[in-house]
Amino acid sequence: MKITLEKNVMENNDRAAAFNRQLFNKTKTLVINIMSSPGAGKTTILERTVAELSKDYHIGVIEGDIATERDADRIRKKGVEAVQIATEGECHLDPRMVAKVLPELDLDAIDILFIENVGNLVCPSEFDLGQNHRVVVLSTPEGNDKIPKYPLMFHVTELALINKVDLLPHVSFDLDKAREDLRAIQPNSRLMPISAKSGEGFETWIDWIRANLEACQKH
Amino acid sequence: MHEMGLMEDALELVAEDAEKHAFQSVDKISLIVGDLSNVLPDALRFAFDAFRESGQIPILSQQASLEIIPEKGLAKCAVCGITYEPNAFIATCPECGMPFGVLLAGETFKIESYEGS
């Protein structure tokens, strides 16, 4: 006998994401899901970001990696609460993994929670974690081609941080071309050149976070 | 490779429903997989075979087959109104060149039906 089910496979994920989102709304926590390929500089960006923001706000970080506690340790050294999720082979974070570690964080106190996803430009774009904002990081040595090669990642994010712009004189990365390609994939996304090493562009990035926090806490 | 976890989710949803119908076994599952779903049919087949052989989903029979029904990507331009099959530049209309296309299809990943008894 044939049964017509018409059921979305992501249903369980979407339900878990909605649960997380409800919780974040209640605690008025701004949640930013940061994605990129391995080595684009997510953790270095976060180190600098939390050092800056923790002067004014209570920050929390969830680190996603296939293995090791290394990234969470790097963040803890900045005096910020960090929880590591070791996915043990999974190439992305899903909302159930996030829900499982939320009790380890004091969400009532945390103003801004960063979730650093597993380094991968494909799978993490598929999974809603219940975040307020999705940000992708692309570093200049990776090249312009990454944008049209991984269009879904750039389609589902609202901000593309172009990291390592201090290397622009040494690599063939064209910022104008990147802007044009991003617009062709997601016209509502914004491109922001930064360098986690030199600090270039960080004021704009920090302002972007502050503005979103204000909007999030107004509700 | 996230297809392993997704296939597990799909099989659990089918098993749950099949139990409600008091089925003893599930012999075929049909999935709709969109071009823009980031799910690879070959990896799904691999995952399906692995779960069937492992016996982890007891209701899935050893003869069970997987059908994958592809869904083409489709977008509609908000400026000139035509529909088009998007390439990498998803939002950009091939006719007028404006980047305001809205996806209509291609992101689907769902269980269409299953067969059992």
Q: Is B22 on the interface with A (CB under 8 A)?
A: no
- The yes-or-no verdict on residue A4 having pLDDT over 90 is yes
Q: Which of B64, B58, B65, B66 is nearest to B19 (CA)?
A: B58
Q: Which residue has the higher pLDDT, A148 or B38?
A: A148
pLDDT-based confidence at A17, cuts 50/70/90?
very high
Q: Are B109 and A6 in contact (CB under 8 A)?
A: no
3-class DSSP state of A178:
helix
Structure tokens at A213: 């926090």
**Distance of CA A93 to CAs A12, A15, A127, A203, B91, Å?**
14, 15, 7, 29, 26
Say yes or no for a CB contact (<8 Å) between A185 and B18: no
Using 50, 70 and 90 to split pLDDT, how confident is the model at A150?
very high
B2 is in an annotated binding site: yes
Total count of residues recorded for chain A:
219
- The tens digit of pLDDT for each residue in A156-174 reads 999 999 999 999 999 999 9
Residues of chain B with C-beta less than 8 angstroms from the C-beta of A1: 21, 23, 115-117
Number of residues that make up chain B: 117
> What kind and span of H or E run contains B62?
strand B60-71
The angle at the Cα of B12, spanning B11 to B14, to the nearest 5 degrees, equals: 65
CB contact at 8 A, A161 and A133:
no
* Distant-in-sequence, close-in-space partners of B91: CB < 8 Å, separation ≥ 6: A155, A183, A184, A185, A186, A187, B75, B99, B100, B101
Cα–Cα distance, B6 to A42 (Å, whole number): 26
Banded model confidence at residue A46, pLDDT cuts 50, 70, 90: very high
Predicted confidence band of residue A90 (pLDDT cuts 50, 70, 90) = confident
Chain B touched by A1 (CB under 8 Å):
yes
Cβ–Cβ under 8 Å, residues B36 and B106: yes
For the segment A29-33, the average pLDDT, to the nearest whole number, is: 98
Q: Cα–Cα distances in Å, from A45 out to A26, A94, A207, B37, B68?
A: 28, 22, 15, 29, 41
Handedness of CA A48, A49, A50, A51 (dihedral sign): positive
Q: How far apart are CA A178 and CA A144, in angstroms?
A: 6
Contact A140, A123 (CB under 8 A): no
Check residue A44 and give its pLDDT: 97
Distance from the Cα of B2 to chain A's closest Cα (Å) equals 6
Whether A122 and B100 lie within 8 Å, measured CB to CB: no
Domains and CATH numbers, chain A: 25-218 (3.40.50.300)
Query: Which among B6, B90, B111 is the nearest to A7, CB-wise?
Result: B111
Which two three-digit tokens encode residue A187?
Answer: 């016209």
Sheet holding B109-116, edge to edge: A2-8, B109-116, B26-34, B60-71
Query: Band of the pLDDT at A219, cuts 50, 70, 90?
Result: low
Question: Residue B1 pLDDT > 80, yes or no?
Answer: no
pLDDT tens across B22-74, in order? 999 999 999 999 999 989 999 999 999 999 999 999 999 999 999 999 999 99
Of the candidates A94, A98, A95, A66, the one whose C-alpha atom is nearest the C-alpha of residue A83 is A98
Per the prediction, chain B carries an average pLDDT of 95
Euclidean distance between CA atoms A57 and A210, whole angstroms: 10
What domains are defined for chain B? Answer: 3-71+106-116 (3.30.2320.50)
pLDDT band at A53 (very low <50, low <70, confident <90, very high): very high
Of A5, A10, A184, the CB nearest to B114: A5
- Provide the mean pLDDT of chain A: 96
Which residue's structure tokens are 């990291």?
A: A163
ipTM of the complex: 0.89
User: Once rounded to an integer, what is the mean pLDDT over residues B86-106?
Assistant: 95
Distances (CA, A) of A155 to A13, B38, B41: 20, 12, 22
pLDDT band at A89 (very low <50, low <70, confident <90, very high): confident
